[in-house]
């Protein structure tokens, strides 16, 4: 039911852009905003509507780092690895998260509750190192603070057992 509504909203965006092929990036942004990631059904839908070959749409989606082709975890940690953050020890924070929660950068934990992504600069260089946990930016981050915050989140809303 809800899925149909999102598809409808996506379709509205496509119409608003007049089915123009050049608006592909805008449409993909909208699709990711609505669904959180771009799976192959969604990409085919966009391709069909813009009258583009599916290979082209997939090619564009895969080219840009911002588009996610796999479902992200329930909570998303994005660590900045721009120059300023790197110089101030972002790498150590990332390694610490990897070890603590047993996941690799760019991937999710086995239970799908947490994803760790790396981004090249969020532009918060004056408060490097910066880590974004869900939508909250943590500036001048330390590994202890970041790990503690993630733990709080994970414990805060445990999946309901039925």
Which residues lie near another protein (CB under 8 A)?
Answer: 20-26, 28-29, 56, 59-60, 63-67, 80-88, 91-92, 95, 99, 119-128, 136-139
Minimum distance of another protein from residue 73's CB (angstroms) = 19
Q: What is the 3-state secondary structure (H, E, C) of 10-31?
A: HHHHHHHCCCCHHHHHHHHHHH
Task: State the nearest-atom distance from the C-beta of 54 to another protein, in Å.
Answer: 15
Between 9 and 25, CB nearer to another protein:
25
Which residue number, 8 or 136, has a Cβ lying nearer to another protein?
136
Q: Based on CB atoms, which residue is closest to another protein, 7 or 137? A: 137
Q: What b/e string do you get for 3-37 counting C-beta neighbours within 10 Å, with b at 16 or more?
A: eeeeeeebeebbeebeeeeebbeebbebbbeebee
**CB of residue 61 vs another protein: minimum separation in angstroms?**
9
Count Cβ atoms within 10 A of the Cβ of residue 74 and give its class: 0-12 exposed, 13-18 middle, 19 or more buried: middle
């Amino acid at each position: 039911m809800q899925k149909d509504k999102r598809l409808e909203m996506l379709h509205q965006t496509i119409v608003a852009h007049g089915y123009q092929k050049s608006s592909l990036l805008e449409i993909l942004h909208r699709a990711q905003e609505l669904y959180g990631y771009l799976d192959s059904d969604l990409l085919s839908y966009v391709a069909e509507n813009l009258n583009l070959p599916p290979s082209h749409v997939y090619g564009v989606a895969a080219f840009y780092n911002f588009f996610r082709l796999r479902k992200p975890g329930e909570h998303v940690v994005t660590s900045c690895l721009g120059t300023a953050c790197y110089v101030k020890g972002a790498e150590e924070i990332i390694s610490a998260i990897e070890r603590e929660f047993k996941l690799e950068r760019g991937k999710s934990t086995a239970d799908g509750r947490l994803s760790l992504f790396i981004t090249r600069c969020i532009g918060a260089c004056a408060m490097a190192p910066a880590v974004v946990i869900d939508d909250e930016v943590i500036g001048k981050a330390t590994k202890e603070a970041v790990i503690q915050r993630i733990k709080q989140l994970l414990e805060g809303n445990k999946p309901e057992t039925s």
